[in-house]
Structure 1
Amino acid sequence: MSKQIATADTCNTSRRSLMKATGVAVAAMSMIPVATATQALAQTSSWDKVFPKSDNVDHQKVSFKNRYGITLAGDLYLPKKRGNEPLAALAVGGPFGAVKEQSSGLYAQTMAERGFVTLAFDPSYTGESGGEPRNIASPDINTEDFSAAVDYLGLQSVVDRERIGVIGICGWGGMALNAVAADKRVKAVVASTMYDMTRVMSKGYNDSVTPEQRGQTLVQLSQQRWRDAEKGNPAYGPVSLELKGGEPQFVVEYADYYKTPRGFHPRAVNSNASWSLTTPLSFMNMPILTYIAEISPRPVLLIHGEKAHSRYFSETAFATAAEPKELMIIPDANHTDLYDQMDKIPFDRIGEFFGQHLA
């Protein structure tokens, strides 16, 4: 039975116009230009997260390959107090433009404190994961990244492969729902402060892009392909979230997370770099939530902030999903509050949800 709950718990003008034409805010479409890109899997053994390390969780760096042969980097979290029986596990990804040292790692560590084996990972082409060129996204490959994380978890002796769930945050909330619709090994899914990236890139915020504007965007993206082909490498937009004043409030909120000590990480696209200008191309014709109803009969929990500019993504997904489903609207929370604000992220409910459905 469905539930809806509230809880307290480029650089030149043409490049700038191309970014604007996609209908995606700087925050949503903003890694380092090729010359200074982080090398894949140049992993550090020191604690490099934006959140403190838990004394109740064991942590280790891991790597695994997806179906396309791209090596992904992950952080595996295990509860220190665990018996000999295999545990339920969660694959955690997102937000769009973030790395595993940020929000997904916080979710993963917190759920490990609650008794789950968890894996936060960097998507293909970003962070410490492999893939060239750097800082590109794909609705297909990034959906596959979730299933590759499930592959990895299910091969671990400490994990019961019949009790695996998924958490997707922000843009990876939509990827998570898409992955779970197809990957019947996953038994339950949570999407927190979810973005449907294919919808926002193809239609703009609140579906405000006209067919004429969409056509103009595709012309510009197509012409950018010629420029990239002539140069032999992709062009990138300006560094993400360098505010000039006058930006929409939600962009200011993104900057307050990604560009300040609260959430800044040098490997994150949204903190320190930008996506390739042609990244929107593969999102324009691939609506990833088309088959969301096929998640059923496995349960879906959608969580969104009352004051989030992106709330409509979860509300639409909730209306389209089949039973069993639940939508939690968090009072007074904006989009980025659900990245890291421990008093607003409903970890108790998330723990109960997976505790019930991965039992």
Structure 2
Amino acid sequence: MTKKNETGNTFAGQSVTDPGRRNLLKVTGAGIAALSVGVLATQHAFAQSPPIQLGDKWDKTFAKSDQVDHQKVSFKNRYGITLAADLYQPKNAHGKLAALAISGPFGAVKEQSSGLYAQTMAERGFVTLAFDPSYTGESGGTPRDVASPDINTEDFSAAVDYLGLLPFVDRERIGIIGICGWGGMALNAVAVDKRVKAVVASTMYDITRVISKGYNDSVTLKQRTQTLEQLSQQRWVDAEKGTPAYQAPYNDLKGGEAQFLVDYHNYYRTPRGYHPRAVNSGNAWTVTTPLSFINMPILTYIAEISPRPVLFIHGEKAHSRYFSETAYAAAAEPKELMIIPGANHTDLYDQMAVIPFDKLTAFFKQHLVATSPA
């Protein structure tokens, strides 16, 4: 496959002029402000894990489609954590269908972007599953709002487990869509999980890269060492208290922020995309969440996705565009990089006129091919 509409790198504002954010970037040494990672704060409001309770209330950031059937479901991952998900099915479908597991962005919930992708792809004939990652949203796990490159990669494979056991799904025709930071998780999952036949990474972030190296790989070894010294000391504090400290939410604008931070705010902190369970909608990760991401690069084996196809989709004007471009370069054929003219990072979260659903549909219909009669 070949690149489409590719032009030179264009990065949104890389400087952060707000004093609080300058301090945040200095402390983390990794430029993770845009991922809702901040400085030490008081105890988090959701420090206790709620039980899994799945209701019928439609609390999505998008309207419900009358072309699909929807239900709340749950399943366990390999670590015994119960994941909450939304299952979408095309109405009046017959036989065994191709299926897609979908998650992201990093710090979001299934009621936001991943649910929109899932419902839209169900309208186009796929069984889809949008799920909350471990420790977040309605999914189980304590402490709340912590992330792990290993466990979150496993979450995708657990979603594949669930889909493949459904009687109306052809387990030989399962694909994955990962959005933003979950684009990187999707690529990592497919590299190891050979059951998945095709993968799409939309507006992809490599979370391990940005946390360990900062934006555009600008963090030095000295800065990273200082960050790890601080996080290591924070472990003593957490151990003594018996509960983790949480980072300060940052998504309320004070003026002078870089444009990509404004874009995040305009999605997560306005009616457009706000959801009370989302980490990025005014909540926060645990302070020590960056530890495992700094130490565990998730795209090491990206070339081993081959011979299964991978499609990267990114906005021309996204500050994060270089993540997809370098991942594309490291991936093996068959691969494709689609650059959306004029689009920024968050346009691919929810802008229906920007997200190339026709391309997604054609990609999965081509590569999730039935090997036996339905």
8 Å CA contact 1:29–1:97 kept in 2: the answer is no
SS of the equivalent of 1:3 reads coil
Report the CA distance shift for 1:145/1:151 in structure 2 as closer, same or farther (over 3 A): same
Aligned to 1:185: 195
In 2: Cα distance, 1:18 partner to 1:62 partner: 41
- Structure 1 position 210, deviation (Å): 0.6
Report the CA distance shift for 1:118/1:326 in structure 2 as closer, same or farther (over 3 A): same
Which residue, 283, 289, 295 being the options, matches 2:299? 289
Counterpart residue identity of residue 250, structure 1: F
In 1: Cα distance, 2:4 partner to 2:325 partner: 10
Aligned to 2:372: none
8 Å CA contact 2:33–2:250 kept in 1: the answer is no
- Structure 1 position 42, deviation (Å): 2.9
SS of the equivalent of 2:280 reads helix
The total of aligned residue pairs comes to: 352
Aligned to 2:204: 194
Aligned to 2:83: 72
- Stretches of structure 2 lacking an aligned partner (at least 5 in a row): 8-19, 370-374
Aligned to 1:94: 104
The answer as to 2:236 corresponding to 1:218 is: no
Aligned to 2:341: 331
Which residue, 246, 254, 263 being the options, matches 2:273? 263
Report the CA distance shift for 1:310/1:332 in structure 2 as closer, same or farther (over 3 A): same
In 2: Cα distance, 1:16 partner to 1:25 partner: 7
Report the CA distance shift for 1:289/1:219 in structure 2 as closer, same or farther (over 3 A): same
- Structure 1 position 244, deviation (Å): 1.8
Q: How does 1:1-359 map to 2 (within 5 A)?
A: 1-5=1-5, 16=24, 20-29=28-37, 33-34=44-45, 39-83=50-94, 85-359=95-369
- Structure 1 position 189, deviation (Å): 0.1
- Structure 1 position 285, deviation (Å): 1.2
8 Å CA contact 1:330–1:344 kept in 2: the answer is yes
Give the TM-score normalised by the residue count of structure 2.
0.91
In 1: Cα distance, 2:250 partner to 2:54 partner: 23
RMSD after superposition: 1.8
8 Å CA contact 1:305–1:332 kept in 2: the answer is yes
Counterpart residue identity of residue 76, structure 1: L
Counterpart residue identity of residue 25, structure 1: A
SS of the equivalent of 1:223 reads helix
In 2: Cα distance, 1:326 partner to 1:234 partner: 41
SS of the equivalent of 1:181 reads helix
SS of the equivalent of 1:160 reads strand
- Structure 1 position 35, deviation (Å): 5.0
- Structure 1 position 33, deviation (Å): 1.2
- Structure 1 position 243, deviation (Å): 1.8
Give the TM-score normalised by the residue count of structure 1.
0.94
- Structure 1 position 41, deviation (Å): 2.1
- Stretches of structure 1 lacking an aligned partner (at least 5 in a row): none
Report the CA distance shift for 1:174/1:351 in structure 2 as closer, same or farther (over 3 A): same
Identity over aligned pairs, percent: 73
Aligned to 2:11: none
8 Å CA contact 2:25–2:33 kept in 1: the answer is no
